[in-house]
Amino acid sequence: MATAFTLQSELTINSGGTVEKNLYETILLLNELEKDESNAIIYDKELKMHFIDNRRISTIYEIELYKICLTLSETLDKASDFTRRLMLRYDFIQPKVTAEGKIISVENIKELQNTWQRLKKTILEDYEGDVAVDYIKEIEEKMMTQNFLLSPISQYFFFGLLFPAIPISHPKEWKNTRTIEISDYEEEKFQETVLLKKK
């Protein structure tokens, strides 16, 4: 059974006294497809016993982009539609996640690449101009690599808030740092640190 998540963000731009608000809302359905515990049972020679090592458990999820709403300024109507449709290239992406919260692979790369080919063809029928063509060409080159397909799992604009990399089992005091991208269009990255402290 899928779990629904709503991701919302708002960008306010104040330019020369004119205030513009851009709203993003995505409803995601997260479905657990498969849990792999095959490598989780460890034998400890000193204790002469078996135990479960949670760090070796991994789960494959499927993420459905159930609803995408982008409310941008009127001057960005075409950009809003273009962005919304491009987001569909990750519809039904299947990340494999360890119990430590680390994304180790995308399981359905070929399926996503085939979906992208159909999506790209449809978008190019509706959009002309160097900006659109060049951006789609850039995505085209990257869609063929595993690292690019792992990227949206850590981006706040896509699925980064679904997987904050907090392990299932952790000490009372714990922290993790990872590199985050906020936007699909910006090159800037920053370090996110998640802290858990005992009360």
How large is the average pLDDT for residues 2-29? 83
- When pLDDT is cut at 50, 70 and 90, the band that residue 168 belongs to is low
Is it the case that residue 89 has pLDDT exceeding 80?
A: yes
- Burial bucket for residue 53 (CB in 10 Å: 0-12, 13-18, 19+): middle
pLDDT in tens, 143-161: 877 677 778 887 877 888 8
Is it the case that residue 51 has pLDDT exceeding 60?
A: no
Predicted confidence at residue 4, as pLDDT, reads 94
Predicted confidence at residue 23, as pLDDT, reads 83
Distance from C-alpha of 32 to C-alpha of 12, rounded to nearest angstrom: 35
Predicted confidence at residue 188, as pLDDT, reads 73
Sign of CA dihedral 42, 43, 45, 46: positive
The count of other CB atoms within 10 Å of the CB of residue 44 is: 10
Distance from C-alpha of 113 to C-alpha of 90, rounded to nearest angstrom: 10
What residue numbers bound the domain in which 84 lies?
Answer: 3-196
Angle value at C-alpha 119, between 118 and 122, nearest 5 degrees: 90
> Is 72 or 103 the better-scoring residue by pLDDT?
103
Distance from C-alpha of 45 to C-alpha of 42, rounded to nearest angstrom: 10
How large is the average pLDDT for residues 47-75? 79
Predicted confidence at residue 21, as pLDDT, reads 79
**Secondary structure of 19-62 in HEC code, one letter for each residue:** EEEEEEEEEEEEEEEEEECCCCEEEECCCCEEEECHHHCEEEEE
Is it the case that residue 14 has pLDDT exceeding 70?
A: yes
Per the structure, the count of domains in the chain is 1
How large is the average pLDDT for residues 83-92? 92
For 78, the token pair is 């075409």
pLDDT in tens, 19-31: 777 788 899 999 9
Predicted confidence at residue 100, as pLDDT, reads 74
- When pLDDT is cut at 50, 70 and 90, the band that residue 72 belongs to is confident
